[in-house]
């Protein structure tokens, strides 16, 4: 699970370096697989549900910081 988390963070930094559609698709696929693994771990009792929610929130906030569009006034 740590590996998936790191892959998400690495793909986010790669997107920051060179934004593009392929990088955005890579982030989406990494995040989807990480969320799936976290959910399965919580379901099977490997992770506590609050720990799983914390991990998902950290990933979501990292992604939100990247894809937010600054308003142009």
Over the stretch 45-59, which tens digit does the pLDDT of each residue have?
Answer: 999 999 999 999 999
Instruction: Let me know if residue 19 belongs to a domain.
Output: yes
User: How many domains are there within the chain?
Assistant: 1
pTM of the model: 0.80
* Residue span of the structural domain in which 10 resides: 2-63
Instruction: Let me know if residue 39 belongs to a domain.
Output: yes
Instruction: Let me know if residue 69 belongs to a domain.
Output: no
Instruction: Let me know if residue 34 belongs to a domain.
Output: yes
Instruction: Let me know if residue 40 belongs to a domain.
Output: yes
| Tokens linked to 16 | 């920051």
pLDDT band at 33 (very low <50, low <70, confident <90, very high): very high
Please, what is the end-to-end C-alpha distance for the chain in angstroms?
41
Strands, E assignment, the chain: none
Sorted by sequence, the CB contacts under 8 Å of residue 15 that are 6+ apart come out as 23, 24, 26, 27, 66
């Amino acid at each position: 699970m740590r590996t998936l988390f790191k892959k998400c963070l690495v793909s986010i930094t790669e997107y920051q370096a060179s934004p593009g559609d392929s990088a955005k698709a890579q982030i989406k696929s990494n995040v989807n697989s990480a969320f799936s693994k976290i959910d399965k771990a919580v379901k099977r009792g490997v992770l506590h549900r609050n720990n799983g929610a914390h991990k998902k929130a950290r990933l979501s906030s990292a992604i939100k910081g990247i894809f937010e569009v600054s308003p142009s006034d």
